[in-house]
Structure 1
Amino acid sequence: MSSSVANLIEQRSRFLSFVQRRVHDRNTAEDILQMAYLKAVSNADTLKVGRSADAWFFRILRNAVIDHYRHQAVETRTFEPWEPGIEPPSTTPDLTPANLCPCVAKALHKVPASYREILREVDLQEVSLENYAKRTGITHGNAAVRSHRAHRSLREKLMDHCGSCAQAGCLDCTCRPSATRQ
């Protein structure tokens, strides 16, 4: 196997040319080739005896080029600028206490105190998880777990209280609490 990998390294210029024809940028081609070499070395045990190491490595290179274009497409869509003068839509609802659905406020009182505390500080008062963790003397990871569990607990309380209205997010609450349902 190691002689196969050494043979692949000797053919570097051939492989670089192959990648560069597909990405049209030498630096990008170099990066892709290096990543492909890393993948080849770490997966050398998958090369079957008697099989062509070149064909195996070309498959790794083709997949690396495809991955490069996939990542590039995602970045382009993600970082695509908005047209000038158009404000991006707000994806976060206004969660100030005055705008909270009464059902959320009721459900919030039913979750354990430690969960209620993190929900109020992190979600309503927009304190960062890092600052919350420092203030309460817990690790950032512990704060993240507590936040996740608090959200799950609140969601369960809302589902018990509101039913299907909670599935819509309780942002435009029209539910009748389950206690008054017939």
Structure 2
Amino acid sequence: MSNMINTPLNELLTQRKLFLAFLRRRVPDAALAEDILQSCYLRAFEHQGEFAQDESAIAWFYRLLRNAVIDRYRRNKSQEKALESLARELETSAHPSPGLHNEACACLHGIIKDLKPEYSEALLAVDLGEQRVQDFAKQHNLSASNAGVRLHRARAALRKQLIQTCASCAEHACLDCTCKKHPPAAGSL
């Protein structure tokens, strides 16, 4: 180690604990702080020939860390906006006609009950019970965006199970399903 040439990159590596402490004060998760630090080290390695002789490598790296934290928060804000948009879209999407409940595949209620409880609860409340996504979110102490994501995942899980159970009926949107794997539950439909 003593034979190593003192380069700006080596100087940055010796300050790892200070850099990590800097990040931990700015991001809520220790693993996220570590990820940001590693990505900044990678960037420093890729740009090591660009260090200006008159600028401290450490000052440059702190600026790099600060910008990485800002970028992370911006990315999270964008994701949050996208999830809120999805929740609004789900909220304003057309509700199925009341007659559709009677025409849907007989397997539907049985398959919904076989899904994860939080998925079946979301589908029964929002899609079949026609509850607003925002009301569902409040009732379950979720943000509207998290409720939208849960509903999206529940629909994907339902589709997957319907295709496995009902094969071509589900694949081709057959409303007169004849499969017998999940008879309708008493009082459903």
TM-score scaled to structure 1, two decimals? 0.44
**Which structure's relative contact order is higher, taking Cα pairs within 8 Å and 6+ residues apart?**
2
TM-score scaled to structure 2, two decimals? 0.43
